[in-house]
Structure 1
Amino acid sequence: MKILVLGGSGIVGKAITKDLVSQPDVSQVVIGDLNVKRGEKYLEHLGSAKASVRKVDVNNHQELVKLMKGFDVIANCVYYNTILQVTQAAIEAKVHTVDLGGFFYGTIKQMEMDADLKKAGVTLLHGCGSGPGMNNVLARYAANKLDRVDEIHIRAGGVAPSPGSPPLKGAGMTIRTVIDEYTWNPMVYDHGEYKKMPCISGKEMVEFPDPIGLKPTYYSLHSEPLTLGKYIKGVKVVDIKVVFPDEEISKLTPLIEFGLTSQESIDFQGHSINPRQFIDRVLAAQEQEEEEQGSEFCASVLWITGLKDKTPVKLTYEFMMEHEKRWGNTKTGVPFSVGVLMIGRGEITKRGFTVPEEAIDPVKFIQEVKKRGFSFKETEETVREL
């Protein structure tokens, strides 16, 4: 199996690359990255003869199509605003693709590419990281246990440093994603409609598994409400809230209020400057200095309600893993890698646009990520009226 990992030396890409090269049936993993020096540095750290690095700019369409040809699967883990051009290139190259999700609105646009994907005879497995990804698989696992699904509530992003590791300095995501989640209105699925919520709203204190503990969560713009609302039959409500530390909110709020996260360019001393791009670049430089230090625990919690044997029940799922940060975001990268391997091994046969809750066997998927260090806890409660 030959895999091209776009952004393969980034925070998520490193974890994907590491898992893929460890598989006996994977013969070649190529890191496609604009930052070749970063890729070469990671190759030295990885120490696998299967891996190599190629310079690629996903905005160069012809170059990207040419590079994709000959691979079995494309693992696309570059910034989500490039997914449409990557998907179009994969259609032209006639190669399967896995990505991290489209931040709700990008997902809608990718759904519209379904006919073209099917015509090319290829699969796009959309949103196969942690959230979206593992969240969706667990929602499907729960739905398969119930006679009727009523509500799905996802609480994600619980993070805590491992003993002896430096304290956390952010929200556990790339800074560009953090700012997007702060400034884009979240959406929830509510009885057949998608409703827009205020940014940084719906604060809820959630108890995550030890050692993470109690954390503040807020509504966040993700694709889970969109796809679970579509693919989980009968569900009435789907929402997701993500941990945003109060200290992080206090740091970013002034940037937002002063317009420094605006995408509109301004003239400064004869030069056109995009405030958002400037902020991204400055904060990303700090992020890269910190991303390899120590280890951390990452966890999410889901509640699914419905009927089982005519009795109202509540299913609660916790999943957690500990990882060394030098290997990237394993909580996201491992589920992604498993999705890539399932396509490459012919275990996912649906062509066109698809998502984990539609295409993936949840029992097998959970078994695979458990082999790689994930732990799961399931609680079933019967709900009765007094």
Structure 2
Amino acid sequence: MKIIVLGGAGQMSRVTVKDLARSQDVTEVIVADLNEAKARQVAFESGEKCRGVYADAFDKPALVQLITGADCVINGCTYQVNLSVMEACLEAGVHYTDLGGLFHVTRKQMAMDEAFQKSGLTAVLSMGGTPGTINLLARYGVDRLDTVETIRVLNGCGDWTKTSAIFSVPYSMRTIMEEFTVEPVAYLNGEFVAVPPRSGLETIDFPEPLGPIQAHYTLHSEPATFPVAWKEKGLKNVVFKLALPPDFHEKVRFLADLGFSSTEEIQLSNGTSVAPLDVLEAMIRRLPEDPDAKVQDCDILRAEVLGRKNGVETHYTIDSIARENQRYECSSTELNTGVPPSIVAQMIVKGAITRRGAYAAEMGVDPEQYFIELAKRDMYVTVSCQTPVGIDTFTPVEAQRQVRTD
């Protein structure tokens, strides 16, 4: 099995490469990145199966040449290249998966479903932790209900690392700034509704070691794909909320309010033009790391599924908990995001995923088989079911009221 990881030198994809390299059925891993030196370093560190090469995901002719003959492409690049990489996969005849399209791009990717079906190819979209694993947590609950009214998808992050570093970023700063400033979209009463960034603030009682933490709306792909997957189940409401460590949240909020999320260039007094977000990213790259820091964190994914079974209101809560990991030498966020596309790429090539087309995980990946693979990699899923359950906070009327008053 030959797998190509685009953006393979990135923070999350390094874990993807490690997992592929440790998998018995994988014979070759191509670590492809704009930074060829880093790609070669990641390949060297990951083992003899791996090879690092230069790749520009926007150069489609060169990309087609690179991926032809591979079994699957894992796209770990920024979501802006997703459509272009998918087109290259169609041309080369290669299966595909990625880390997400941040709602709007994901919807465009789903429109390529027919093209992938006709080519006999599978593209599992948005297959990181969230979106990705969390979609399959939701499906586990949905599969056990006759009808479904509401799905809440929640991501809680905790970080207790003792470090001298001024500012530690768990994943792409560009993505984080977009999550804080781009208008989220929720699915409420059967319609897509725009809500203010960082609105819908509420305290979520996550499992230990995280516990209660405040979460807010942010733009994500789950509200784009769930209504497509479960329209026949009567799904009316889908919301996504993110809870970052309070100290980190306040720092990001401050930067966002100052305007550092902007990609529009501003003119400096010396006549130079710069985009604030580019400056922020460059400054973060310059920050010294703390070599003595020992990561201690957690990343919890939760799907709350409310519906009816045999006419009785039933509420499933499905959690997946990841911690910092010694085997992979990574944080919980890196583990939660980097491992899933490796699992799914291998499932596609081995025939464990048979549906062809371009779709999100909940439409073609068996959750229980996937959960077994997660457990092999130190990520465990727990399920609780309540019936009957108080549902005042989940009714469409309450959801609409909350949006209006935030």
Query: TM tier, shorter chain?
Result: over 0.9
Among 327, 330, 345, the residue aligned to 2:335: 330
Aligned to 2:135: 136
Are residue 10 (structure 1) and residue 15 (structure 2) matched? Answer: no
CA distance 1:289–1:121, change in 2 (3 Å): farther
CA distance 1:143–1:354, change in 2 (3 Å): same
Instruction: Give SS of 2:303's match.
Output: strand
Tell me if structure 2 keeps the 8 A contact 1:291–1:326. Answer: no
Aligned to 1:294: 295
Aligned to 1:240: 240
Instruction: Tell me the distance in 1 between the aligned counterparts of 2:30 and 2:42.
Output: 12
Post-superposition offset of 1:361: 0.9
Tell me if structure 1 keeps the 8 A contact 2:202–2:216. Answer: yes
- Residues 106-160 of structure 1: per-residue CA shift (max 9 Å, x gap): 0111122223323333221101111011111111111111111111111103223
Are residue 354 (structure 1) and residue 359 (structure 2) matched? Answer: yes
- Residues 53-88 of structure 1: per-residue CA shift (max 9 Å, x gap): 001111222111111111000000111111111111
Post-superposition offset of 1:235: 1.3
Matches for 1:51-200 after TM superposition, within 5 Å: 51-161=50-160, 169=167, 172-200=170-198
Tell me if structure 1 keeps the 8 A contact 2:148–2:234. Answer: yes
Tell me if structure 2 keeps the 8 A contact 1:11–1:291. Answer: no
Instruction: Tell me the distance in 2 between the aligned counterparts of 1:384 and 1:243.
Output: 24
- Residues 313-352 of structure 1: per-residue CA shift (max 9 Å, x gap): 1111121022337446011122221111111112222222
The one-letter amino acid paired with 1:362 is: P
Tell me if structure 2 keeps the 8 A contact 1:158–1:208. Answer: no
Instruction: Tell me the distance in 2 between the aligned counterparts of 1:20 and 1:185.
Output: 36
CA distance 1:266–1:171, change in 2 (3 Å): closer
CA distance 1:116–1:192, change in 2 (3 Å): same
Instruction: Give SS of 2:58's match.
Output: coil
Instruction: Give SS of 1:215's match.
Output: strand
Instruction: Tell me the distance in 2 between the aligned counterparts of 1:142 and 1:126.
Output: 20
Tell me if structure 2 keeps the 8 A contact 1:206–1:214. Answer: yes
Post-superposition offset of 1:188: 0.8
Post-superposition offset of 1:178: 0.6
CA distance 1:288–1:110, change in 2 (3 Å): farther
Runs of 5+ consecutive residues of structure 2 not aligned to the other structure: 391-406
- Residues 177-198 of structure 1: per-residue CA shift (max 9 Å, x gap): 1101011111111122111110
Instruction: Tell me the distance in 2 between the aligned counterparts of 1:231 and 1:168.
Output: 43
Aligned to 2:49: 50
CA distance 1:51–1:378, change in 2 (3 Å): same
TM-score norm. by structure 2 comes to 0.88
Post-superposition offset of 1:37: 2.2
Instruction: Tell me the distance in 2 between the aligned counterparts of 1:291 and 1:243.
Output: 27
Post-superposition offset of 1:308: 1.5
Instruction: Tell me the distance in 1 between the aligned counterparts of 2:21 and 2:70.
Output: 15
Aligned to 2:310: 309
Instruction: Tell me the distance in 2 between the aligned counterparts of 1:84 and 1:112.
Output: 10
Instruction: Give SS of 2:318's match.
Output: strand
Post-superposition offset of 1:296: 2.7
Runs of 5+ consecutive residues of structure 1 not aligned to the other structure: none
Instruction: Tell me the distance in 2 between the aligned counterparts of 1:287 and 1:179.
Output: 21
The one-letter amino acid paired with 1:130 is: G
Tell me if structure 1 keeps the 8 A contact 2:158–2:245. Answer: no
Instruction: Give SS of 2:198's match.
Output: coil
Aligned to 2:223: 225
The one-letter amino acid paired with 2:387 is: T
Instruction: Tell me the distance in 2 between the aligned counterparts of 1:278 and 1:39.
Output: 24
Aligned to 2:251: 251
Report sequence identity in percent. Answer: 31
- Residues 346-370 of structure 1: per-residue CA shift (max 9 Å, x gap): 2222222111110011111111111
Tell me if structure 1 keeps the 8 A contact 2:165–2:288. Answer: no
Instruction: Tell me the distance in 2 between the aligned counterparts of 1:113 and 1:288.
Output: 41
Tell me if structure 1 keeps the 8 A contact 2:72–2:94. Answer: yes
Instruction: Give SS of 1:103's match.
Output: coil
CA distance 1:366–1:341, change in 2 (3 Å): same
CA distance 1:345–1:168, change in 2 (3 Å): farther
- Residues 208-232 of structure 1: per-residue CA shift (max 9 Å, x gap): 2222222111111101011011102
CA distance 1:79–1:285, change in 2 (3 Å): farther
TM-score norm. by structure 1 comes to 0.92
Instruction: Give SS of 1:11's match.
Output: coil
Tell me if structure 1 keeps the 8 A contact 2:56–2:63. Answer: yes
The one-letter amino acid paired with 2:349 is: G
How many residues are paired up? 383
Instruction: Give SS of 1:380's match.
Output: strand
CA distance 1:281–1:69, change in 2 (3 Å): same
Tell me if structure 2 keeps the 8 A contact 1:303–1:316. Answer: yes
The one-letter amino acid paired with 2:181 is: T
